[in-house]
Amino acid sequence: MKKLITFLIITSFTLNVSAQEWHKGGTLHNKNLLEWKNATEKNKLATTGDWIVTLFNKKRIPLGTLNNIKEKAKEIRKCTNKKINSFKSQNNLQGIKANEIAYKCMKEKKYF
């Protein structure tokens, strides 16, 4: 029983830490659409969060809380994924940067 309780406590702590670190580990900042399409959703979310923070700081827009940034990042990730999935040919994905599509999504959502 002691081992089960210890396991549950450790698992709970690990899940909580993982949920708090959604914004770490983004590596898609200058990648093309094919690389974006093949990346993990976690990597996409972290990268999108970085783009939002960078843009908001540049435009001097208040960021709000980390949860606010995460919600915006989820919206932009979803929009970016949707736009990328609408491309008919895989060949088109290599010549366009993912940050260009994400920027268009941010503009459409009127983030700036």
Give me the residue spans of the domains in the chain. 2-108
20 or 7, which is more confident: 20
Q: Where are the alpha helices (DSSP H) in the chain?
A: 2-20, 33-37, 41-59, 66-85, 98-108
pLDDT band at 19 (very low <50, low <70, confident <90, very high): low
Distances (CA, A) of 11 to 2, 19, 20, 24: 14, 12, 14, 20
> CA-CA distance, 84 to 99, in Å (whole number)?
12
80 or 9, which is more confident: 80
pTM summary value: 0.80
**What is the tens place of the pLDDT at every residue in 46-65?**
999 999 999 999 999 998 99
Residue percentage of the chain with pLDDT more than 70: 82
Inform me whether the pLDDT recorded for 3 exceeds 80. Answer: no
Note the pLDDT of residue 90.
Answer: 80
